[in-house]
Structures are given as structure tokens and as C-alpha cells.
């Protein structure tokens, strides 16, 4: 039972264009969402997060959008750079009921940005 | 650079053996979580320690156990290793406060069970 789904295993974009990575979730108890980036032989690196009380959060080239009614979030990277090539994980947690210790991850999307 | 370190980087064990993996948290962080990442999968939550006590556990059997020390370093112990335990093991440290917090990951330990 996968509660966080990243349905695209891979995505390829041209340098300078927009990258859009998608994530769906099924657990309505989730109220905080994070994106992590992972390079080979390294641990996941925190990128950006969003609380369920917002629908958008922006940090430089990275913007995360949350659509609670659709249980869908997306990460936009503009403009994409070759150094952005990595696996991107969507993660979620519930901050209610004292269970805010556990992150539930999707399987990841491999982003390749071509020069 | 998160300030979270893990040792060893790689480890090869045989089925039935026991293994101990180590994690040093980022300075000032009081909480450590452990995750298992199998090939092609996202990290799966094993357990979390807060102030030296287990604070939550995922769907892993009791042969997965942990410790957190007063200096907030941590160990993950796995007994009776099985082939399916082959994975990347990640620890993540965070500062538990009343509000939200972010977990910062170390580089991981790659465990291979033969």
C-alpha cells in the first residue's frame, strides 16, 4: 500500500527549460510535504517543503505547489540546470497525534537535464 | 553538507550474521531516524530515537534495534541478517521542537548480505 506515489520513474528536460516533478498521496492525514534530491553515493538532501495550510512555496528556482483536494503536489524547477540531474523524492508526514516522526517517501523520479 | 556522518560506507556480511551501523548527528540535533532504502525504492522508516528513547517504529521486525547515546550519536543493529536486508541504510537527524522540523540525512551505509 503505497501512500506516496511518484508515477514517473524518469524525466528528461533541456537546460533552461522547466522541470515539473509530480507526486500523489492517498493518506488524508498527511499535512506536511517535503522534496529531497539525491545524487549517487550521497544521502538525500532537503530541497523545499510545504505545509498543508499553503498551496505554494517558493525558494529560488524551486517552487512546490500543493493541491489538497486532488492530493497532489508538484515541484517546479525553473530554469533547469545540468547540476539538477539527480533522483528527486517526494516525502510526506502527519503532524497530528504525535506521529510527526515518520516520513513516508515515494519511489523517486530520476531527472536528467541535458545541456 | 548536512553534518550527519555514517560509518562504515560499505559493508559485506553473510546471512545469519549481526551488523552494527553508526551515525553521528548534526550538532544540536536531539532526534535521529533510521531508514532502509532498497534498490529502486524510496527510503522506508525503521525507527526514531528522541532523547535516547525510541519514539516511533515502522514495519520492521524486532531483530532491527537501535540505540541513541547522550551525545546524540546512534547505532542501528540488525541480528540474524537475511538476504533481503541488503540495502542502503540512512540516518537522519533533526531538532525536535513543538513545531515542524526537517530531517537531514547522512550519506548512508551500503549493506550487502551474501
CA separation (Å) from B91 to A4, A24, A43, A113, B113?
A: 20, 25, 9, 29, 19
**Residue A97's pLDDT band (boundaries 50, 70, 90)?**
low
CB contact under 8 A, A43 and B4: yes
Pairing of strands B74-78, B64-68: antiparallel
Q: What is the pLDDT of residue B102?
A: 81
Buried/exposed B63-94: b ≥16 CB within 10 Å, e otherwise = ebbbebeeebbbbbebeebeeebbbbbbbbbb
Cell readout for A79 is 530554469
Q: Which of residues 48-87 of A touch B (CB under 8 A)?
A: 49, 51
The arrangement of strands across the sheet holding B74-78 comes to B5-7, B19-24, B74-78, B64-68
**Residue B111's pLDDT band (boundaries 50, 70, 90)?**
very high
Q: Are B33 and B92 in contact (CB under 8 A)?
A: yes
Position A101 pLDDT exceeds 90? no
Rounded Cα–Cα distance for residues A30 and A95 (Å) = 7
Position A1 pLDDT exceeds 80? no
Q: What is the pLDDT of residues B64-95, one digit of tens each?
A: 999 999 888 999 999 999 999 999 999 998 87
* Stretch among A7-16, B16-25, B46-55 having the lowest mean pLDDT: B46-55
Chain B residues with beta carbon closer than 8 angstroms to that of A99: 56
Q: What is the pLDDT of residue B2?
A: 66
CA distance B16 to chain A (A): 27
Amino acid at each position: 500500500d503505497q501512500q506516496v506515489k511518484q508515477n514517473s520513474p524518469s524525466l528528461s528536460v533541456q537546460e533552461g527549460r522547466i522541470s515539473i516533478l509530480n507526486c500523489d498521496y492517498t493518506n488524508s492525514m498527511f499535512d506536511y510535504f517535503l522534496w529531497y534530491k539525491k545524487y549517487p553515493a550521497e544521502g538525500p538532501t532537503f530541497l523545499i517543503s510545504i505545509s498543508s495550510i499553503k498551496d505554494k512555496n517558493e525558494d529560488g528556482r524551486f517552487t512546490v505547489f500543493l493541491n489538497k483536494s486532488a492530493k497532489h503536489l508538484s515541484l517546479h524547477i525553473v530554469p533547469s540546470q545540468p547540476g539538477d540531474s539527480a533522483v528527486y523524492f517526494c516525502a510526506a508526514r502527519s503532524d497530528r497525534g504525535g506521529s510527526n516522526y515518520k516520513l513516508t517517501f515515494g519511489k523517486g523520479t530520476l531527472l536528467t537535464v541535458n545541456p | 553538507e548536512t553534518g550527519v556522518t555514517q560509518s562504515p560506507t560499505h559493508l559485506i556480511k553473510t546471512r545469519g550474521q549481526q551488523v552494527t551501523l553508526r551515525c553521528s548527528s548534526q550538532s544540536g540535533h536531539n532526534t535521529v531516524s533510521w531508514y532502509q532504502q532498497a534498490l529502486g525504492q524510496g527510503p522506508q522508516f525503521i525507527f526514531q530515537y528522541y532523547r535516547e528513547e525510541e519514539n516511533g517504529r515502522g514495519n520492521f521486525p524486532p531483530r532491527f534495534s537501535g540505540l541513541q547515546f547522550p551525545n546524540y550519536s546512534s547505532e542501528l543493529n540488525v541480528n540474524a541478517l537475511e538476504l533481503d536486508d541488503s540495502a542502503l541504510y540512512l540516518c537522519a537527524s533533526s531538532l525536535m521542537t513543538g513545531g515542524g522540523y526537517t530531517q537531514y540525512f547522512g550519506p548512508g551505509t551500503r549493506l550487502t548480505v551474501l
